[in-house]
């Protein structure tokens, strides 16, 4: 199915994933430096109208990555919503508005943002080092008072969950992201042209030389954005996962389901088709309670089918319910239904002896994790893993990959 | 390569290059770029080493402290890359130099103090917003998160609202 993202890099192949982390960071730092973002006066120029590089680089990057993800999602390479749910934080509207304003104040006072201060530090700037220290101190201090009721109330106000611009437009799921990306690209080009005008006016008034970019390069970049936006729109016409109708239903065991739910929850969508009351009482972690008769309301035919759909019933099912047949991706049915899951997950497993085989440790880890998620009781940690065998569970970073 | 400290990349091409790095991170790893998350882990680790009692007395700090070693964390490796990339970029462009950047008439000591104060404000703010300009504005913005876009406009508003008061620092 979908080859990307390479979730294994944060699971089994974690060491390789960390190498990728260094490479990604390297590209990030190098480009920021070359754009001039290691120099506070250049960054500050954004707020005096003399140098709008911040706006140009930021919007250029956002539009590039946005068009890229939309096109790849349209081609069925990634599931945009599943990736976004993993890579972004929930929308806490008021904290983001108030905190964003404060961050902007800190930006113009220090001359950097947290990322660019690291680039400045790396290029020998003492002010960059001071900002890096400040960011650490500020974060630790605020984290230290986060449990105070007033702070917690501010911080957790207006939680709208994962909410995207295309959700606000109420467009069909396949069309929404492409339309938004097109609109943002158009808006960005407008902002670029406006920024160039402002720069030239302010610079002329201040007696500074022009900093105009060559018209040919500018045109090339704008044309590239337009071309990708058109490709993004065109992918709407591509049907994704057309082979679905010929597929037979697979069954999965509670153990296989536990592994998916614990390690790669973004890859599965668990739908519990038992009666609502039974599902509300106990269900697989992350499962949606959708009685079989209501399956039609999920709009599964329009979903892009990147996640595997696992159906949990009250007993063994020989065929998937009619309501999920239209789903374009893989569909699996839990072997022997919820009772099998209950037997597997609701009793805490016995800790394996020290020196147990990696398979036994892995089984224990999954069963302990599931049992604690289901019952709220934590099991003892597994015994130390033998050297050379990285069996540690993967740790998920904070929402935006930035707040930690 | 010719080293010219005054020479920067064309901002639009730099934007596309940055976008491709971000796209690679999202597509290959399933996460965006980040900067502030790693600093928290390192700061808490440092505080825990000198004053473990303080860390244990606060649930938030204790959570970050128990979250694992600061180097057992994807973002820490990404930040290591940022520092290496920034260093190499500065070295090859002739901008690698120990100095304090500020406006022509602004005193150095006050500039360093303001850099620290601004950093503290941003650190606290980045906790409230669940990410800074890299994690929220860039990564969340590219993935069209509503909160990220609200955040981004707010950052610009905060900057423009304050710029006049600190103009001597820069001009």
Please give, rounded to a whole number of angstroms, the shortest distance from the CA of B48 to a CA of chain A. Answer: 11
CA A270 remoteness from chain centre: 19
Q: A191 touching B, CB under 8 A?
A: no
Q: What is the pLDDT of residues B22-40, one digit of tens each?
A: 999 999 888 888 888 888 8
Instruction: Decide if B117 and A40 are in contact by the 8 Å CB cutoff.
Output: no
Return d(Cα A314, Cα A296) in angstroms, integer: 19
Please, what are the averages of pLDDT over each run of 10 residues along chain A (404 residues)?
67 82 95 96 94 95 95 88 88 95 97 95 96 95 92 89 88 85 93 93 90 85 87 77 46 81 80 85 84 78 75 76 74 83 76 75 78 65 52 41 38
Question: Which residue in the block uniquely carries the two structure tokens 């976008």?
Answer: B19
Nearest by CB to residue A213, choosing from B11, B18, B159, is B11
Q: Are A370 and A362 in contact (CB under 8 A)?
A: no
Return d(Cα A217, Cα A353) in angstroms, integer: 65
Higher local confidence (pLDDT), B8 or A251? B8
Which one of B47, B108, B114, B151 makes the best mutation probe of the A interface by having the most chain A beta carbons within 10 Å? B151
Return d(Cα A199, Cα A45) in angstroms, integer: 10
Return d(Cα A338, Cα A107) in angstroms, integer: 53
| Among A305, A314, A321, A310, residue whose Cα is nearest residue A257 | A310
CA distances from A300 to A129, A270, A272, A285, A293 (A): 51, 13, 14, 20, 14
Return d(Cα A186, Cα A203) in angstroms, integer: 26
Chain B residues whose CB is inside 8 A of the A112 CB are 115, 118-119
Using a 10 angstrom Cβ sphere, with 0-12 exposed, 13-18 middle and 19 or more buried, the burial of residue B76 is buried
For residues A319, A321, A324 and A326, what is the CA-based torsion angle, rounded to 10 degrees? 80
Residues 362-381 of A with CB under 8 A from B: none
Q: Tell me which H or E stretch contains A152.
A: helix A149-155
Instruction: Decide if B75 and A124 are in contact by the 8 Å CB cutoff.
Output: no
Mean pLDDT, chain B, rounded, equals: 91
Residue A245 pLDDT: 36
Residue A399 pLDDT: 38
Which one of A139, A199, A205 makes the best mutation probe of the B interface by having the most chain B beta carbons within 10 Å? A139
| Among A108, A23, A315, residue whose Cα is nearest residue B81 | A23
What one-character DSSP code corresponds to residue A156?
T
Task: Specify whether the backbone of A124 is left (phi greater than 0), alpha (psi in -120 to 50) or beta.
Answer: left
Mention every residue, 6+ apart, whose C-beta is less than 8 A from residue B50: none
Residue A339 pLDDT: 83
Residue A362 pLDDT: 76
Return d(Cα A285, Cα A188) in angstroms, integer: 41
What one-character DSSP code corresponds to residue A9?
G
Q: What is the 3-state secondary structure (H, E, C) of chain B?
A: CCCCCCCCCCHHHHHHHHHHHHHHHHHHHCCCCCCHHHHHHHHHHHHHHHCHHHHHHCHHHHHHHHCCCCCCCHHHHHHHHHHHHHHHHHHHHCCCCCECCCCCCCCHHHHHHHHHHHHHHHHHHHHHCCCCHHHHHHHHHHCCEHHHHHHHHHHHHHHHHHHHHHHHHHC
Q: A68 touching B, CB under 8 A?
A: yes
pLDDT at B116 exceeding the cut of 60 = yes
Please state whether beta strands A331-334 and A268-272 pair in parallel, antiparallel, or not at all (unpaired): unpaired
A155 to chain B: closest CA residue: B128
Chain A residues whose CB is inside 8 A of the B7 CB are none
Return d(Cα A230, Cα A225) in angstroms, integer: 9
Q: Are B74 and A18 in contact (CB under 8 A)?
A: yes
Using a 10 angstrom Cβ sphere, with 0-12 exposed, 13-18 middle and 19 or more buried, the burial of residue B97 is exposed
A45 to chain B: closest CA residue: B170
What ipTM was estimated for this complex? 0.95
Return d(Cα A106, Cα A153) in angstroms, integer: 23
Q: A61 touching B, CB under 8 A?
A: yes
pLDDT at B136 exceeding the cut of 80 = yes
Residues 138-177 of A with CB under 8 A from B: 138-147, 154-155, 160, 162-168, 177
Q: In which order are the strands placed within the sheet that holds A268-272?
A: A250-252, A331-334, A308-312, A268-272, A288-289
Nearest by CB to residue B74, choosing from A10, A107, A123, is A10
């Amino acid at each position: 199915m979908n080859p990307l993202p390479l979730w294994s890099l944060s699971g089994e192949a974690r060491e390789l994933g960390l190498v990728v982390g260094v490479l990604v960071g390297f590209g990030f730092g190098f480009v920021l430096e070359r754009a001039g973002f290691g120099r506070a006066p250049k960054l500050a120029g954004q707020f005096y109208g003399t140098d709008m590089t911040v706006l140009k680089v930021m919007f250029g990057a956002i539009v590039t990555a946005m068009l890229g993800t939309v096109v790849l999602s349209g081609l069925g390479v990634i599931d945009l919503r599943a990736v976004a749910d993993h890579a972004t934080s929930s929308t806490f509207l008021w904290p983001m508005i108030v905190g964003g304003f404060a961050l902007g104040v800190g930006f113009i006072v220090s001359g950097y943002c947290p990322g660019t201060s690291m680039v400045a530090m790396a290029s020998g700037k003492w002010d960059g080092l001071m900002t890096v220290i400040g960011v650490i101190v500020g974060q630790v201090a605020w984290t230290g008072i986060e449990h105070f009721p007033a702070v917690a109330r501010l911080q957790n106000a207006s939680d709208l969950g994962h909410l995207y611009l295309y959700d606000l437009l109420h467009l069909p799921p396949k069309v929404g992201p492409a339309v938004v990306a097109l609109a943002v690209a158009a808006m960005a080009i407008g902002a670029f042209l406006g920024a160039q005008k402002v720069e030239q006016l302010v610079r002329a008034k201040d007696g500074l030389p022009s900093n105009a970019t060559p018209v040919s390069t500018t045109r090339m970049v704008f044309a590239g954005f337009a071309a990708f936006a058109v490709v993004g729109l065109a992918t709407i016409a591509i049907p994704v996962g057309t082979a679905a109708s010929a597929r037979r239903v697979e069954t999965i065991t509670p153990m296989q389901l536990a592994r998916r739910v614990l390690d790669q929850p973004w890859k599965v969508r668990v739908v519990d088709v038992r009666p609502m009351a039974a599902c509300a009482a106990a269900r697989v972690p992350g499962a949606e309670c959708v009685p079989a008769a209501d399956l039609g309301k999920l709009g599964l035919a329009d979903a892009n089918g990147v996640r595997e759909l696992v159906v949990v019933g009250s007993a063994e099912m020989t065929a998937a319910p009619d309501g999920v047949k239209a789903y374009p991706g893989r569909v699996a049915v839990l072997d022997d239904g919820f009772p099998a899951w209950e037997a597997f997950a609701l009793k805490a497993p016995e800790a394996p002896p020290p020196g147990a085989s990696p398979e036994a440790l892995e089984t224990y880890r999954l069963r302990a994790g599931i049992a604690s998620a289901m019952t709220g009781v934590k099991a003892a940690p597994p015994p130390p893993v033998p050297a050379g065998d990285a069996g540690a569970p993967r740790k998920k970073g904070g929402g935006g990959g930035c707040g930690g | 390569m010719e080293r010219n400290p005054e020479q920067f990349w064309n901002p639009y091409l730099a934007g596309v290059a940055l976008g491709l790095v971000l796209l690679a991170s999202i597509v290959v790893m399933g996460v965006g770029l980040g900067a502030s998350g790693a600093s928290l882990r390192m700061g808490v680790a440092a505080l825990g080493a000198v004053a473990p009692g303080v860390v244990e007395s606060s649930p938030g700090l204790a959570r970050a402290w128990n979250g694992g070693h600061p180097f057992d964390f994807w973002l820490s490796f990404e930040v290591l890359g940022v520092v290496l990339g920034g260093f190499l970029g500065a070295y090859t462009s002739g901008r690698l130099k120990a100095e304090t950047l500020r406006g022509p008439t602004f005193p150095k000591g006050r500039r360093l103090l303001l850099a620290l104060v601004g950093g503290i404000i941003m650190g606290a703010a980045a906790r409230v917003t669940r990410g800074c300009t890299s994690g929220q504005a860039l990564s969340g913005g590219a993935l069209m998160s509503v909160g990220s876009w609200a955040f981004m406009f707010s950052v610009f508003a905060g900057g423009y609202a304050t710029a006049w008061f600190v103009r001597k620092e820069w001009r």
